[in-house]
Amino acid sequence: MPSPKIPGSRLAGRIALVTGASRGIGAAVAKRYAAEGAQVILAARTVGGLEEVDDAIRGAGGSATLVPVDLAKPDRIDALGASIHERFGRLDILVGNAAMLGALSPVAHSDPAQWQRVIDLDLTANYRLIRSMDPLLRASDAGRAIFVTAGVARTVEPYWGAYAVAKAGLEMMVRLYAAEIAKTAIKANLIDPGIVGTAFRANAFPGEDAATLPAPESVTEPFVDLAEPGCTMSGALVEAGK
Which residue of the set 33, 127, 163, 177 is catalytic? Answer: 163
Give dist(CA 200, CA 205) in Å, integer. Answer: 9
What number of other Cβ atoms are within 10 A of residue 50's Cβ?
24
For residue 33, indicate whether it is catalytic: no
Using CA atoms of 197, 225, 146, 169 in order, give the dihedral in degrees to the nearest 10.
-70
**Residues contacting residue 129 through CB under 8 Å, at least 6 positions apart:** 19, 71, 77, 94, 96
Which residues have a catalytic role annotated?
163
